[in-house]
Structure 1
Amino acid sequence: MRSPLRPAAAAVAAAAIGIAVPALTAPVAHAGELGPDLVISTLPVASPKPGEVYDKTVIVTNNGTAAARDVVFRIGLSRGLDFPEHVEGCTYSTTRDGGPQALCDLHQTVEPKASVTTRVRFRARPDALLEYVEYGTSPTGAAPGDGFDEANRRLALTADSTADLLAEGDKAAGDPGGEVTLTATLRDAGPGRIQNEESDEQPGLLVRIPAGTTAVQVPGDCAPFGVDAPTGPSEPGHPKYVCWPADQIIEAGQKLDYTFVLKIGKGARDTRGEITASSVYGTHLDVDKNRANDTAYLDVDVTDSGGTSGGSTAGGSTAGGSTGGGSTAGGSTAGGSGDGGSATGGSGTGGGGNAPHGQSTGGTSGTGTSAAAADSTGGVLAGTGSDGRPLLAAGAGAAVVAGGLVLVAVRRRRAV
C-alpha cells in the first residue's frame, strides 16, 4: 500500500484556509443547554467548463434550542475558481492557499427549528481543473474556523478541461572521469492547472540517470525512486529519481527545472537517460490526455580519451578517411571494418565518413577473409571502456597491391 505524500485532504484544506474575520467564541450548545446548532445542506457535484458560472443554493437549519443571530457565511475557493461579481454585505480576501474567499453577513436570525437559504456562486477560470469550494458557517453562526463538519463543508470539483504535462530534456558533453550538468524539466502546457487535494497522485517527473554516469549532485525536490514510489530523502548515487513541486501545485504554463550533476565513468561512451512526465508513483495522470510529449532525454556526449569521439575507436586510423573503428584508403578497406576485425581485398565505393559505433560506411565489403582470428567475439566494442590495440602481422613477405605496400592490421580486444 502506498504511503501518502500528504495528510488527509480535509486536514490539508483546513491548514490552507485563511480567515479574514476571527471566529467568535460562542459555545456550542450541549445536551440540556440552550444554544444554536446550525447545520448546512450539501452542494451538488458539478464539472463546470472554463468560464462557466456555478450558481446553487444551500439551506442553513438551526437544530439547536436558541436563535442564531448575525450569521456569517463563508465561501472559500481554490485558485482555479473566482467570484463573478462582488456582493453587498460580503468582505473579500484570499485564503492562505491564494484562492479568493468571501465572508458574508446574512443579516438574518435563524430561530430554533427554522431554516434560511443562501447562494453559493462562483466561476471556473480558464485554467480551472482540479478545484474545490469550501462553504458554510459555524454551529453558532459565527465565521467558521479550521476543520469541516455539518455546518462547514467542502466540495471537490473537476472542471471540464485537461492539462498537458510534458518532459523537456537536455544534453551536455564531457570527458571520461569529468562531470556534466543536465537539467530535466517538467512543464504544464495547460490549459488546466494541477492542484490535486483529493489524492496523493501528485504530478512528478521520473528521471533515469544515463548509464555510465553517476549522479553526484541531486535537487532537493528529487527523491530516489524504487519499484513504484519514492524510497527516501534526496541523495546522490541512485539510478532513478522522481521529482515533484514542493507545494504539489503546477500552474498552467509553469516550468519546473531539476538540475543534476553527473560524473562520467572512465570507460563510458555516448549515453542517454530517459525522463518521463507522470505522477510521483510513475503512473500517467488521468487529466493529461496527451501522451506524445511525456518522454524526453538527457544526452551525454563522451569525448574519447584516445583522441577520437563518438563511435570511433583508437588504433583503427590510417590515411584516406575515418570510418569509425577502421579506415579506407583509395577505396580498399585496410585496418578493419569497424566490426572488431579487419578485411583485406574488399573493394569500396568511397572513402571515409564517420559511422556510429564503429560501423564502416566507406564501401561494400568484398570477399576478404577475417584477420581477427584472435577476436572470436566479433561485433563493436562494448561501451564499457574496452580498447583496441593494433599489432602488425608478421609474415614471410609483403603483398604489393597497385604499387603500394598494404599491411594488414590485426586488432585484438580484451574480454569485457
Structure 2
Amino acid sequence: MRQRIRPSHLRNSAAFVAAAAIVGAVPAVAAPAAYAEEGEPSLVISSLPRTSPKPGEVYDESVVITNKGTATADGVTFRIRLTRGLDFPEPVEGCTYSTVADEVRQALCELDTVIEPGASIETPVRFKALPKALMEAVEYGTGPTGETPAEGFGDSYHRLTLTADSSADLVAVGDDTEALAGGKQSVTTQLRNAGPGWIQNQESDDQTALMVQIPPGTVATEVPKECAPFGIDGPSGPGGTPGKAKYVCWPADHTIEVGESLSFTFMLDIKDDAKTTTGEVKATSVYDIHPAFDKNPANDKAQIRIAIPTDNEPGPATSGGSSTGGSTDGGSTTGGDGNDPDGQSTGGTGSTGSTGATSAGTSTGTSTGGSTSGSIDGNLASTGSDGTPLIAGAAAAAAALGGVLVMAVRRRRAAAKSS
C-alpha cells in the first residue's frame, strides 16, 4: 500500500524552477471549488505570493494542493511553465524539462504521493530570474484529479505575472534623407531595445510601440501593416492605411528581444510646393503612454528629416518635378482631395512597401499590393493572471480593431489620467 509522502520529502523531490520579477502580478482567480461527484478526487491549488526579484535572484515559495473531492488522488503530475526571462535553478529528480513554443521553459514533475479526501500536501515552486528578466509569467499546477493539466486555468492550475526589478531602454531611430518636390521618397524608422530586459507585456494590452509623425508636406502612400493610424489616444484604424498624419507601429508578436531593432518603412509622396520638412518618431506604447520600465527617456525621440532643395540648389536624382516655394503646415492630401473624418488627409495607395519581419535582430521585409507579412487588423486583448496560456504566446493579444479597441482605448486613457 502506498504511503503518503511527508511535505518535507515532497519539497526535496518536486522542484519547479522559474525566474523573473513580479510587478502588479495578479494570480488567477479561481471560482469556489465544488465537491466532485462521488468517487472522484478534486484538487485545488493555492496561489503563489507576489514578488519582484532582481536578475540573478531565486524565487523559492510553496503551494498547497488540497483534495476537495470524495476519492483519493493517487499520484500527482505537477507542471510549471516559465517565460524566457526565467529558468529553473537546477534539475530535480522526478521532473522532465523541455522548451516549448515561444521559448517557454517547462518542467513536468511526477509526485509519488497520495492525497486523501480533505487532506493537503505542500510542494515547492522555485525559479530564478535571468539577466534579461523583465515582464514574465509563470504557470503552475496540476489537473483536477491529478493528471497532466490541460490548457487554460482553474482551481488546480494558475498563472502568475511577474515584473523583475530591472528595466529596458527603448531607443527611437529616425531617418535623414533628401528628395525632390513632386517626387517620392522612402523613409525607414526603427524601434530598438537596448536592454537589459527583453520586452513582452504579460499584464496588459498597452504594448510597446513606435509613434511615427509623417513630415508635413508629404503623404504616406505605402504603410507597413504593423502600423495603424493613431487617433486621439490609441490606434484608430487597420494597419497599412495610407494618407494619415500619424501612425503607431508595433510587432505582431508584441516581442522585442534585447538588442533587437524593429524597422518600419514608409513610402512618401512629396508635394510639389514642399520645402525641407521634419517629422518625429517616438518610443512609447500603443496608447502613447511612456513605459514604466524605460528609465532613460533621453533617447525616446528622433527626427525624420527630408531635405528638399530649392530651385537654386542642386538636388538628388530622384523622380518628380521641382519645388515651387511655399510651405505646408501639417496634414497632407493627395490629388487635391478633401480630408477624412479624422481630420487627416487621405493619400493614395502604393504597390510596394516595407514591413517588419524580424531577422538577425532587425525587422525588415517587403510587401506587394499593399499587403505585408504582419497584421494589425485586430484589437489588443488584455492579458493577465488568467490570460492566454504561455505556449499560445503573450503575443496572443491581437484581435480585430473596432468597438472593443475603442473601449480599451478609453479604459487606458482613464487609467492614465488617474495615475
Look up the match of 2:21.
Answer: none
1:48 partnered with 2:49: no
Look up the match of 2:115.
Answer: 110
Out of 289, 300, 304, the position equivalent to 1:294 is 300
Which residue identity lines up with residue 102 of structure 1 in the other structure? A
CA distance in 1, matches of 2:121, 2:264: 52
Which structure 2 residues correspond to residues 354-373 of structure 1 after superposition, within 5 A? none
1:101 partnered with 2:70: no
CA distance in 2, matches of 1:73, 1:309: 72
Shift in Å, 1:214 = 0.6
Which residue identity lines up with residue 115 of structure 2 in the other structure? V
Out of 280, 283, 293, the position equivalent to 2:289 is 283
Which structure 2 residues correspond to residues 110-189 of structure 1 after superposition, within 5 A? 110-189=115-194
- Give percent identity, aligned residues only: 55
Which structure 2 residues correspond to residues 215-226 of structure 1 after superposition, within 5 A? 215-226=220-231
Which structure 2 residues correspond to residues 173-252 of structure 1 after superposition, within 5 A? 173-234=178-239, 235-252=241-258
CA distance in 2, matches of 1:384, 1:146: 55
CA distance in 2, matches of 1:110, 1:33: 16
Shift in Å, 1:97 = 2.7
Structure 1, unpaired ranges of 5+: 1-8, 13-27, 311-380, 386-416
CA distance in 2, matches of 1:95, 1:68: 28
Shift in Å, 1:134 = 0.8
Shift in Å, 1:116 = 1.4
Seen in structure 2, the aligned counterparts of structure 1 residues 38 and 175 have a Cα distance that, compared at 3 Å, is same
Look up the match of 1:391.
Answer: none
Q: Which moved more, 1:140-149 or 1:94-103?
A: 94-103
SS, match of residue 106 in structure 1: strand
Look up the match of 1:88.
Answer: 93
CA distance in 2, matches of 1:182, 1:171: 8
Which residue identity lines up with residue 307 of structure 2 in the other structure? D
Which residue identity lines up with residue 95 of structure 1 in the other structure? V
CA RMSD of aligned residues (A): 2.1
Verify the 8 A CA contact 1:219 1:258 in the aligned structure 2. Answer: yes
SS, match of residue 245 in structure 1: coil
Shift in Å, 1:277 = 0.3
Verify the 8 A CA contact 2:36 2:68 in the aligned structure 1. Answer: no
Seen in structure 2, the aligned counterparts of structure 1 residues 32 and 228 have a Cα distance that, compared at 3 Å, is closer
Which residue identity lines up with residue 383 of structure 1 in the other structure? S
Verify the 8 A CA contact 2:35 2:68 in the aligned structure 1. Answer: no
SS, match of residue 58 in structure 1: strand
Structure 1 residue ranges, 4+ long, deviating more than 6 angstroms after superposition: none
CA distance in 2, matches of 1:196, 1:110: 37
Which residue identity lines up with residue 120 of structure 1 in the other structure? V
Verify the 8 A CA contact 1:186 1:277 in the aligned structure 2. Answer: yes
Shift in Å, 1:242 = 0.3
Look up the match of 2:327.
Answer: 383
Shift in Å, 1:70 = 2.1
Look up the match of 2:366.
Answer: none
CA distance in 2, matches of 1:164, 1:274: 19
CA distance in 2, matches of 1:217, 1:89: 56
Relative contact order, CA 8 A, sep 6+: which one is greater?
2
1:366-392 superposed Cα distances (whole Å, 9 cap, x missing partner): xxxxxxxxxxxxxxx74259xxxxxxx
Aligned residues: 290
Structure 2, unpaired ranges of 5+: 1-24, 316-324, 330-419
CA distance in 2, matches of 1:29, 1:55: 30
Out of 249, 255, 259, the position equivalent to 1:253 is 259
Shift in Å, 1:31 = 5.2
Q: Give the greater-gyration-radius structure (CA).
A: 1
1:363-416 superposed Cα distances (whole Å, 9 cap, x missing partner): xxxxxxxxxxxxxxxxxx74259xxxxxxxxxxxxxxxxxxxxxxxxxxxxxxx
Which residue identity lines up with residue 301 of structure 1 in the other structure? A
Verify the 8 A CA contact 1:29 1:36 in the aligned structure 2. Answer: no
Seen in structure 2, the aligned counterparts of structure 1 residues 384 and 40 have a Cα distance that, compared at 3 Å, is closer
1:267-325 superposed Cα distances (whole Å, 9 cap, x missing partner): 00000100000001111111111110100011101122x24269xxxxxxxxxxxxxxx
CA distance in 2, matches of 1:256, 1:185: 5
Verify the 8 A CA contact 2:184 2:270 in the aligned structure 1. Answer: yes
Shift in Å, 1:171 = 1.4
Which residue identity lines up with residue 266 of structure 1 in the other structure? D
Q: Which moved more, 1:94-103 or 1:204-213?
A: 94-103
CA distance in 1, matches of 2:160, 2:80: 11
Verify the 8 A CA contact 2:35 2:69 in the aligned structure 1. Answer: no
Look up the match of 1:270.
Answer: 276
Seen in structure 2, the aligned counterparts of structure 1 residues 140 and 205 have a Cα distance that, compared at 3 Å, is same
CA distance in 2, matches of 1:308, 1:163: 44
What TM-score does the superposition give when structure 2 sets the normalisation length? 0.66
Shift in Å, 1:110 = 1.2
1:20-57 superposed Cα distances (whole Å, 9 cap, x missing partner): xxxxxxxx996552210111111110101001111111
Which residue identity lines up with residue 291 of structure 2 in the other structure? L
What TM-score does the superposition give when structure 1 sets the normalisation length? 0.67
Seen in structure 2, the aligned counterparts of structure 1 residues 159 and 188 have a Cα distance that, compared at 3 Å, is same
More helix by percentage:
2
Which residue identity lines up with residue 53 of structure 1 in the other structure? V
Seen in structure 2, the aligned counterparts of structure 1 residues 30 and 55 have a Cα distance that, compared at 3 Å, is closer
